[in-house]
Structure 1
């Protein structure tokens, strides 16, 4: 039996799949339980924009792509396949990932382990439009360390929003994603158990970005 946690704030179902494990590259070849996100198209697209915004800032600070840019594109592409592209404002184009490739001197980061698919058989009930319509679900499966990294990514993006008094563009409410970040990290820890340790499983900590507040502000201003 799969235990499902429903994150009401962002309309997302979070679960751990131990029956169909996912292969790892870290450590290589070892299977692990998959952390699974099941969500409406607009939630997947909103998450894509959160990742896109974070990747844009980190890319300018580090002069390298983060590896999360393809993940953001996959999430948005799946969302657009599930519903008409003009159905929700979250389905707008990503604004920041493409800017990184236009800047000289950027290095290419490692590709993130993330599987994204559209589930047209098990529909998901959505709150928008009001009335609880049924739509295809976007399903994202990832190893525990990827889920934990995603939690830290969201946590840092929320910290940037707090730092700059910016609750996000593209219809992405940052405060609602913070509880999701905590749940992602808890799921990652539960999936691997106490016997496995990844640095990504450490507690959420925003200080690395806040310590460079001036650089973050300049980077964000430079790509908006």
Structure 2
């Protein structure tokens, strides 16, 4: 079976998942009062990106959380960090130092707009002084606007935190399968895709807002395991 056939199988499973959870959502319409599973894997799509062979939206980010032993981070905790803040001093913005997704989207916007001198500290360190965060607020708002408009799905996998978890297995192999890095492209990216402006080659050439696992081979068996999980929801 070819990689193209396996990519098609993954999208078939995602279609089943969409039916199981009642459709894609956008973070602009989400809050913590919704019925989120404690743990899971999420798949972000881009509303301006379609697959080459169908009119399905293309996956542009795969992620999970709590893969370190003892971590208590929930699925909503991770999604909320990507969404950004709704109130307070940094309302409308967020903290990209707590979200690799936000950091890389911001880097691409900055590169596209030639804003490197305006945001010299973007992505530097795990925290920042209040004056730095204030200077970065406009860009944080741009990042929030972009991410909150991306449709996404999530698959409930309530296993224990750890590198050997099913969530980590599904995340890693989904990324490796979907990535075009160093491979014959499947579902080539539109020229206008924001990720094409990323300073990181792995993002530009994989077509995903991911860096880890994009240069790895995938284990085909994850597809049947993932299908079984979806059908048990």
Confirm or deny a common fold (TM above 0.5): no
TM-score by length of 2: 0.25
The structure with higher relative contact order (CA 8 Å, sep 6+) is: 2
TM-score by length of 1: 0.25
> Which structure's residues are more often strand, by fraction?
1
